[in-house]
């Protein structure tokens, strides 16, 4: 499950610095998460760091269109790390 930044985003710059996969970028108006790079921090941390540093409750949510299992997220993590 990739994460999604909602329109509640206030562009505080907290999340992009915390993403270990560099999946968060500034979009046209708010920050956006690249679902191909988002592993919900699987392989790095116990929970998504972007959610834990975000000052706005429910701003970063599970993307309902990008659901992935824990195994799929771990495989994505392994692929991403091999490319680095």
Of the chain, the end-to-end C-alpha distance in Å amounts to: 22
Predicted structure pTM score:
0.89
pLDDT in tens, 27-38: 999 999 999 999
- Position 84 scores a pLDDT of 57
- Position 83 scores a pLDDT of 72
User: Within the chain, which residues score under 70 in pLDDT?
Assistant: 84
Domains contained in the chain, CATH given = 3-83 (3.30.70.20)
Buried/exposed code over 40-69 (b: 16+ C-beta within 10 A; e: otherwise): bbbbeeeebbbbeebeeeebbeebeeeebe
């Amino acid at each position: 499950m990739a994460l999604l930044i909602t329109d509640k985003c206030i562009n505080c710059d907290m999340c992009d610095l915390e993403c270990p996969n560099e999946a968060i970028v500034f979009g046209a108006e708010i920050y956006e998460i690249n679902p191909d790079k988002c592993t919900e921090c699987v392989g790095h941390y116990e929970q998504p760091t972007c959610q834990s540093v975000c000052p706005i409750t429910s701003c970063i949510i599970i993307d309902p269109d990008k659901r992935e299992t824990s195994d799929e997220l771990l495989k994505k993590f392994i692929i991403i790390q091999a490319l680095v």
